[in-house]
A and B are shown apart, each in its own frame.
Chain A
């Protein structure tokens, strides 16, 4: 079971969290169908460091960003999401 360092609450068991997907830039409404489809369904699912959103539903109920190594499951970093769109960087 992962020990996730919530940036607001500190380390907590994985069972308190929901995985909320990969942070991705949302294409504008004018984007073509292929771009929109890729946004919806294509996951990077990187081997190695992987950026993901987590939701602390069993705690502060805040959303945050986490970088997790999908090979070792080491958590390299967590931090609060910044302003709109920063999750894309």
Chain B
């Protein structure tokens, strides 16, 4: 297949090799070195997509990261990218490309009709047109019509990598300014990173006819990179095809490195976080379009983009070109296209033109029409002509003079790519002479150079880059005299009420900006959100300044007075895979496994995630459902004996001469009076008085306490200990040690627990006299160092045996064997939840919320008796804490025993007009096999009084009504005799 627009020579492509690809089902050919965009253009493909809102036919506008139109669906073997930017994707063999946002086909897109209804779709149309009868009536259709590309059907299994690095000097952009900075920095011994978004170094040297140090610019750039890479004495990293996507605090930049051809198994990107001592931003500049009617037709292209396709890829995008400009640099592009054989005519909006480039154009025989502009273009799928008229016309009816052409090149002046600068916190200022926003004040160790700083000439770029890199001696020399750059702030044809495109990707036109001005959305932030200007995936790289210029004209302000919106990362889109890196699937949050995990699996455990831990919920037998298993396990504990792995429960040792003083100041409960060898159930409060954690505290020795925070709170409690010690009581001699992982803890619980324990070989006296409920003892069990505690979360007689983690599995097996005579039954956390709810034992965070105080749980002893100033104490005496309508913990006895009350159901009272008011909610609710009826706990306003009155309460949940009686929050063995049974 021929490539009709490809020139026989020129560009950085390998014409000796051919790559084939398809677009919209048709086969095309290109060459290594091509981008998808340059290959399409070489083949004469003009129509590459449909616009977002009006479904207008669109072609390539740009040649680089700023391209708004050419968003394609890309398939390569199994790999799928739903919205690739054609200008940034290197062409590889076998690519299958399709347009997005067009159906059934690009040429016959059924939604193209939207364009006819444009007047019903103005800015803010969501809020205007589609509100009657209601937005939801239209939402489905509109959402389906919106969006770019189809989602992949399968998840991306490629392996994305993230890496960190640091350097003295990070240079962003390997154009002339960036290369000069990197050379200078490396020469004076700094470690240097030089990153370039394009696959080739040189920036605009790749297509401009300019020389540096006597060589063609592109050759100088290539040689400079080779020289940098070969430097022996310094650490220099050059990364091409790498996008500096974000500039964060303290000179941290996020870079996305596009990996060569998507190798199987690897992601398409590697994310770098680089921290640099100093950053040089040589990010170049972006050419702006000029708005005029139908300026979005395929074949209307930025002038520098046309010259780039020519210089870099040997593609001449048009033979008969009308070039519209408001600045001198448009002439440079015109000259390049002219020398390549195109017939070029220049339409300059400025009434008077003069300068070196203008003279050069005249010498070359290029026609120049000053003081004119384009009133419109002919052609739907490809430009066939233009209409030229006075640049200052405001008459919408004026037709102008027709000219035939096959390409309209537009140069609306240059805007420094100051996105990263702005992300770094730097402030921009409007430069009226250059008609652009330029960096004015840096916020970090950073400097912008070259075109990124508004230095739009080669000589200035080289000098600024050299200086920024700390260069000594002369900077690289631009061989040609630099022409001056002047631009007029001409944003659009000054005709109101006609759609002239500003934001191509989001279909924002001058009409939308005019409407926003009329409706007083004149603040730049309102303008953006009301019109969606700059909110598409190109983030308005070609649109924003034009939009600000038009808004300025509508409101009598300069663009500087309108101001810019905040630039936010990323500069260009990056894949979610790169952001996630390895933090996906099971690595998203590291699971914690119990030390006996394999033993549990062998016992048939059904494991789930409980907080940080992946642990057994229950142990279903063959043919048994989980609900049935839970009922069986609960009954086994109540009637015989159960075995549970409680290793995840926190274990923090507090030691030192001041240990008693420290824990006593920290905990709500009195702990100084606790005798060695004894345990106490305690609450730990936050400073605002709310219950932060609960657990049993053991005093192992006069100067040694063992805390047992909840499984998921251990890290938080550890941090709290450290913060209070270091921040408040550094004079206390005390040390903390989180030994959770050092010990495996197994609980033997049930009326026959004592019989099982009696079979255990241990030197610990297990008699009730020596080891009563809430006591612990150290010793040996089966020859291993061990600790046995009498503590119960089931309400039954329980022994918690702790042994070094490595012995846990052996002890588990041993206990199962020893207890076989009593049908010892492993029970999981779900069964424990039922057991503890029957007893009214609370779970922090489930039966409490962020405002629960200890008195709300009925734990008032310390409040009355403990007089030292423990953490949170003052907050228990505030008016809020003393309100009589606080939510308090109660039990609920359902009137019907059909099923447990729904967790989270609201307890309600009925007010005037039958309006419901929530009094509280159900926190824990289970079917109790022990009692044969549902049991539930709840937090309810004035709960204690309701219990006293044995009140009948209405519950409401998702339309369902239930009734229950308020009862004491303990359904089983309220006297606690079974703890010693």
Q: Report which A residues bind B (CB closer than 8 A).
A: 1-3, 18, 20, 23, 26-27, 29, 31, 33, 36-37, 40-41, 53, 55, 57, 61-63, 72-73, 81, 83-84, 87
* A53 in contact with B727 given A31-B874, A36-B875 (CB within 8 Å): yes
* A55 in contact with B731 given A33-B878, A36-B874, A36-B875 (CB within 8 Å): no
**Which A residues touch B248, using CB under 8 A?**
1
Contact of A83 with B730 in the complex, beta carbons under 8 Å? yes
- Give A75 Cβ to nearest chain B Cβ, in Å: 8
* A84 in contact with B728 given A55-B723, A72-B425 (CB within 8 Å): yes
**Which A residues touch B443, using CB under 8 A?**
72
Contact of A37 with B878 in the complex, beta carbons under 8 Å? yes
Name B731's contact: one of A23, A29, A57, A84 (CB within 8 Å): A84
* A87 in contact with B727 given A1-B273, A72-B443 (CB within 8 Å): yes
B275 at interface, CB cutoff 8 A: yes
**Which A residues touch B43, using CB under 8 A?**
none
Query: What 6 pairs across the A-B complex have the smallest Cβ distances?
Result: A63-B726, A3-B250, A1-B252, A73-B249, A29-B869, A63-B727
Interface residues of B in 265-295 (CB under 8 A from A): 273, 275
Contact of A73 with B730 in the complex, beta carbons under 8 Å? no
Contact of B719 with A55 in the complex, beta carbons under 8 Å? yes
B133 at interface, CB cutoff 8 A: no
Contact of B878 with A84 in the complex, beta carbons under 8 Å? no
B651 at interface, CB cutoff 8 A: no
Q: Known pairs A3-B275, A36-B875. 16 more at Cβ < 8 A?
A: A1-B252, A2-B250, A3-B250, A26-B728, A29-B869, A29-B873, A29-B874, A33-B878, A37-B878, A55-B722, A63-B726, A72-B425, A73-B250, A81-B726, A84-B730, A84-B731
B768 at interface, CB cutoff 8 A: no
Question: Which residue in chain A gives the minimum CB-CB distance to B273?
Answer: A1
Contact of B252 with A20 in the complex, beta carbons under 8 Å? no
Question: Which residue in chain B gives the minimum CB-CB distance to A73?
Answer: B249
**Which A residues touch B80, using CB under 8 A?**
none
A-B contact pairs, 25 of them (CB 8 A): A1-B248, A1-B249, A2-B249, A3-B250, A3-B252, A18-B719, A26-B728, A27-B874, A29-B869, A29-B873, A31-B874, A36-B874, A40-B687, A55-B722, A62-B726, A63-B723, A63-B726, A63-B727, A73-B250, A81-B726, A83-B730, A83-B731, A84-B729, A84-B730, A84-B731
- Give B692 Cβ to nearest chain A Cβ, in Å: 14
- Looking at B727, B728, B875, B878, the one whose CB has the most chain A CB atoms below 10 A away is B727
* A63 in contact with B688 given A1-B252, A20-B727, A84-B728 (CB within 8 Å): no
**Which A residues touch B873, using CB under 8 A?**
29
Question: Which residue in chain B gives the minimum CB-CB distance to A20?
Answer: B723
Q: How far is the CA of A27 from the CA of B729 in the complex (A)?
A: 15
Interface residues of B in 872-917 (CB under 8 A from A): 873-875, 878-879
Contact of B869 with A81 in the complex, beta carbons under 8 Å? no
Contact of B878 with A36 in the complex, beta carbons under 8 Å? yes
Q: How far is the CA of A72 from the CA of B878 in the complex (A)?
A: 39
**Which B residues touch A73, using CB under 8 A?**
249-250, 425
- Give A33 Cβ to nearest chain B Cβ, in Å: 5
Q: Report which B residues bind A (CB closer than 8 A).
A: 248-250, 252, 273, 275, 425, 443, 687-688, 719, 722-723, 726-731, 869, 873-875, 878-879
Question: Which residue in chain B gives the minimum CB-CB distance to A23?
Answer: B727
Contact of B722 with A61 in the complex, beta carbons under 8 Å? yes
Name B730's contact: one of A20, A27, A57, A81 (CB within 8 Å): A81
- Looking at A62, A73, A83, the one whose CB has the most chain B CB atoms below 10 A away is A73
**Which B residues touch A72, using CB under 8 A?**
425, 443
Q: How far is the CA of A45 from the CA of B47 in the complex (A)?
A: 54
- Give A11 Cβ to nearest chain B Cβ, in Å: 10
**Which A residues touch B719, using CB under 8 A?**
18, 55, 57
**Which B residues touch A83, using CB under 8 A?**
730-731
Contact of A1 with B729 in the complex, beta carbons under 8 Å? no
Q: How far is the CA of A6 from the CA of B275 in the complex (A)?
A: 17
- Give B284 Cβ to nearest chain A Cβ, in Å: 26
**Which B residues touch A26, using CB under 8 A?**
728
Q: How far is the CA of A39 from the CA of B250 in the complex (A)?
A: 32
- Give A20 Cβ to nearest chain B Cβ, in Å: 6
Contact of A40 with B688 in the complex, beta carbons under 8 Å? yes
Question: Which residue in chain B gives the minimum CB-CB distance to A65?
Answer: B727
**Which A residues touch B727, using CB under 8 A?**
20, 23, 53, 63, 81, 87
- Give A72 Cβ to nearest chain B Cβ, in Å: 6
Q: How far is the CA of A33 from the CA of B874 in the complex (A)?
A: 9
**Which B residues touch A20, using CB under 8 A?**
723, 727
Q: How far is the CA of A55 from the CA of B718 in the complex (A)?
A: 12
Q: How far is the CA of A3 from the CA of B276 in the complex (A)?
A: 11
Q: How far is the CA of A18 from the CA of B716 in the complex (A)?
A: 11
Name A40's contact: one of B275, B723, B875 (CB within 8 Å): B875
- Give A1 Cβ to nearest chain B Cβ, in Å: 5
**Which A residues touch B726, using CB under 8 A?**
62-63, 81
**Which A residues touch B273, using CB under 8 A?**
1
- Give B575 Cβ to nearest chain A Cβ, in Å: 21
- Give B318 Cβ to nearest chain A Cβ, in Å: 47
**Which A residues touch B874, using CB under 8 A?**
27, 29, 31, 36
Q: How far is the CA of A87 from the CA of B505 in the complex (A)?
A: 54
* A63 in contact with B275 given A2-B250, A84-B729 (CB within 8 Å): no
- Give A60 Cβ to nearest chain B Cβ, in Å: 10
Q: How far is the CA of A72 from the CA of B875 in the complex (A)?
A: 36
Question: Which residue in chain B gives the minimum CB-CB distance to A64?
Answer: B726
